[in-house]
Chains A and B, each alone.
Chain A
């Protein structure tokens, strides 16, 4: 008898409701042969943000109930032919295209950015760095568009430190396309006072026209714990995940 009263007590029901809603939010991480940043993103989302996160193998054909998709970095299919091109033809990317059309936020980090570009979800192309080497270092990034699900917590033109690790991160567009993305304000991040890859206009991250798909070359998941941060420098790269989680909570509530 006591338990029945307890179950109908609104004071207890509300926290259960909130708990269920919190658990309902789910983020998917597509995994390809050669992805290597999938576990880092999983760790950040589950252990730091307490969000349910699934790995999705690249052959999976029907995915549903995901509030966001984060395509991880790495070397999908060994970067054969061109970074990201073979992954761009995989079944999971067809599903990602379908979800993105419905307005689900999609973030591509590093190789994920290359996959999004090769699958024509984002404009442009990513080719070999100007120095021909794999670059792994800390850079300054500038936020140029705060009107996306991944940058809403930033201030306009905010600077922050973030590590990059890429061999093919030189973002290239022809002049007409560059004018178009500038006009539509699709440049989300750019390198500040440095252009490690030789990208046109120092571009480090772009979005699509609808602003729900963002690709970026630097790795925000690698700066989320104090042990990983550079000493004495501001590290607001975590605001990317803060923004995303605030966005999906707002949408699903």
Chain B
């Protein structure tokens, strides 16, 4: 009992926690009416002419326990594909790590 607790803690200490961001965005062949409304009716009407386009997306913030950043991204990518966190027909999925510094 004590031993298993100890080993678990050892694994946790050895592994680090990473903040991973998953961005789910519709593919470019699908129009994005929400982004278009934000762009035309808010940004352009208030004369922010330097902005050229807006697309909306969904973001998931995950805290992942892994040995290194590469393992963290790979495990999250696999999870997203296995559970269909994004629909491969209509959306693309980006997995990024944000550093703590």
Per-position 1/0 for A154-190, Cβ under 8 A of B: 0000000000000000001110010000000000000
Q: Which of A88, A125, A130 contacts B89 (CB 8 A)?
A: A125
Contacts of B85 in A (CB 8 A): 81
- Scan residues 22-79 of chain B and give those whose CB is less than 8 A from a CB of chain A: 26, 29-31, 33-34, 37
For chain A, the bracket of interface size reads 10 to 19
Residue B12 CB within 8 A of the other chain: no
Q: Given the complex, which residues of B lie within 8 Å of A229, measured CB to CB?
A: none
Q: A85-B84, A88-B84, A118-B84 are in contact. Are A173 and B89 (CB under 8 A)?
A: yes
In the assembled complex, the Cα of A82 lies from the Cα of B57 at a distance in Å of 12
The majority secondary structure among interface residues of chain A is: loop
Tell me whether B90 is interfacial, beta carbon within 8 Å.
yes
In A56-99, which residues have CB < 8 Å from any B CB?
81-82, 85, 88-89
User: What's the dominant secondary structure at chain B's contact region?
Assistant: loop
B90 touches A130 (CB 8 A): no
User: Please, which residues of chain B bring their CB within 8 A of the CB of A177?
Assistant: 89
Check B87 against A118 for contact (C-beta < 8 Å).
Answer: yes
Q: Say whether B34 contacts A132, CB under 8 Å.
A: yes
Q: Beyond A81-B85, A89-B83, A118-B84, is A172–B90 a contact (Cβ under 8 Å)?
A: yes
Candidate in A82, A130, A177 with the most chain B CB atoms within 10 angstroms: A82
A131 within 8 A of B: yes
Q: Contacts A130-B33, A131-B33, A172-B30; is A125 near B83 (CB within 8 Å)?
A: no
List residues of B whose CB falls within 8 A of some A CB: 26, 29-31, 33-34, 37, 83-85, 87, 89-90
- 7 A-B pairs closest in CB distance: A125-B89, A125-B90, A125-B87, A172-B90, A132-B33, A130-B33, A127-B90
Chain A positions within 8 Å of B, measured between CB atoms, are 81-82, 85, 88-89, 118, 124-125, 127-128, 130-132, 172-174, 177
